[in-house]
Amino acid sequence: MLRLYDTRHRQVEEIVPGGRRVLRMYTCGPTVYRYAHVGNMRSYVLADLIRRVTERHGVRVIACRNVTDVGHLVDDAEIDPTGEDKVLAQARQEGRSALEVARFYEDAFNADAAALNLRPPEYTPRATESIELMVELIAKLIERGHAYAVPGGSVYFDAASFPSYGEISGNRLDQLKPGHRIEVEPGKRFHADWALWKAAGGEARPEMTWETPWGRGFPGWHIECSAMSLRFLGDSFDLHTGGIDLRFPHHEDERAQSDAAAGHEVVAHWVHGEHLLFEGRKMAKSTGNVVHVSDVAAAGLDPLAVRLAVMEHRYRQQMNLTWETLRAADRTLRRWRTRVAEWAEAPSRPMAAEYAARFQAALDDDLDTPLALRVLRELERDESQPPGARFETFLHADHILALDLASEIGKLTPAPLPAGASELLEERAKARAAKDWAASDRLRAELAAMGVRVTDTPEGQVATTE
């Protein structure tokens, strides 16, 4: 079965125990206030690969990926983030409503996901449509002594009530220092407590606020994923994925909330993908090196070159993507599609079993995609393997790689016929119409000597160069 590196346990572990036939997986989805860049998409390619590899073992995957359209504040690196809601800030900048902005960028994300052949999850709940779930969860946490309301209308998680806080990231509560903020909301007990619900206060904020037993306000970012994962996957599921930047504080806080509500460990395995740099730097608007999937297509490259390029590195290794890397991946894609189309013309053969087994073993071993791709390159060069066997093996691999390797089948441009071949073909067509089979066979032999293979079909003769 598939083995992955568990961030919390600090080791590679089997993800689905023997005998299990269902895997439940949650992936933190996009915050829909801007276009996702290729670094963001690397995390979703990871989740898609996990799903595809798992399904090849006959295990059904039930996936949930949320849409964060409220509650993600600007200062998200802090344990208790502050600042303006990212969606609202973008809405003000664009002169549109927050929901218009959120739906626009949600649609853009879905288009990017489709371009990268990401299989849609079974559940894609939106935060704004899950407020009731969050309110119910917050009330449960208050009832169980893990959260408390303050006079201003906010509700905080009592971090000290969860003794195993820090097991994912290594950040222990006694080591966390207070942030450099001038104002702390009255009633907050401990600097590391974080808001489950934030009071709207006196600010002019007609959008993205809701009435609750504690007053009008909006949810904290972390409570959203707890509420949605518990609702759609249950209080015990197998796998939670996301980018390494979400490990702290988001996933640390999410684990505390979910486990405190359920009374036990909710997520069996936490798996994180590493950062993606572009041209040696972290992608950021300020540095001007943000690259979107649409930018790749605008450069004349297949968007799936992004998918192939990120698979050239192990998911938990930081990688540096460049335009040259993307162009090289695009060239590989086109070459493989051409080879698969050529091999499709050959007689069918069983898969190259040894190569297929090595390919699968590489993926099962903590998603070693670089090794899996090297196996395919080796098979591509192995002329001892019949074309039909290479065809079947590459198509088998593409069920996981999802690179559309069969897309050129039937589209190859035939090589030009040698001089004089067209005249012989015309003469042979007349001989066949006259039922002069001896002349037809003689002309076929002459064409074969020129390197032209003739196949007779119900629609007429078809000539190809050998």
Q: CATH number of the domain that 152 lies in?
A: 3.40.50.620
Banded pLDDT at 204 (limits 50, 70, 90): very low
pLDDT above 90 as % of the chain: 76
The answer on 425 and 397 residing in a single domain is: no
Flag whether 408 is in a domain.
no
> Structure pTM?
0.87
Flag whether 207 is in a domain.
yes
Flag whether 407 is in a domain.
no
The answer on 305 and 244 residing in a single domain is: no
In the prediction, which pLDDT does 466 show?
Answer: 62
The residue type at 24: R
R_g of the chain computed on alpha carbons: 28
Give the residue ranges of the annotated binding site for Zn(2+). 28, 225, 250, 254
The answer on 201 and 184 residing in a single domain is: yes
pLDDT surpassing 90 at residue 136? yes
The answer on 433 and 327 residing in a single domain is: no
For 350-379, what is the mean pLDDT? 98
Give the residue ranges of the annotated binding site for ATP. 285
Domain interval for residue 456:
421-465
Query: Sheet of 155-157: strands edge to edge?
Result: 147-149, 155-157, 194-199, 217-219
The answer on 328 and 262 residing in a single domain is: no
The answer on 374 and 444 residing in a single domain is: no
The answer on 181 and 144 residing in a single domain is: yes
The answer on 258 and 203 residing in a single domain is: yes
The answer on 53 and 35 residing in a single domain is: yes
pLDDT surpassing 70 at residue 16? yes
pLDDT surpassing 80 at residue 206? no
The answer on 321 and 202 residing in a single domain is: no
Give the residue ranges of the annotated binding site. 28, 225, 250, 254, 285
For 92-119, what is the mean pLDDT? 96
The answer on 216 and 144 residing in a single domain is: yes
Using CA atoms, how far residue 318 sits from 204, 281, 282, 315, 326, in Å, is: 42, 11, 11, 8, 16
How do beta strands 281-282 and 276-278 pair?
A: antiparallel
How do beta strands 267-273 and 276-278 pair?
A: unpaired
pLDDT surpassing 90 at residue 178? no
In the prediction, which pLDDT does 207 show?
Answer: 79
DSSP letters for 380-410: HH-TTS-HHHHHHHHHHHHHHH---TTTTTT
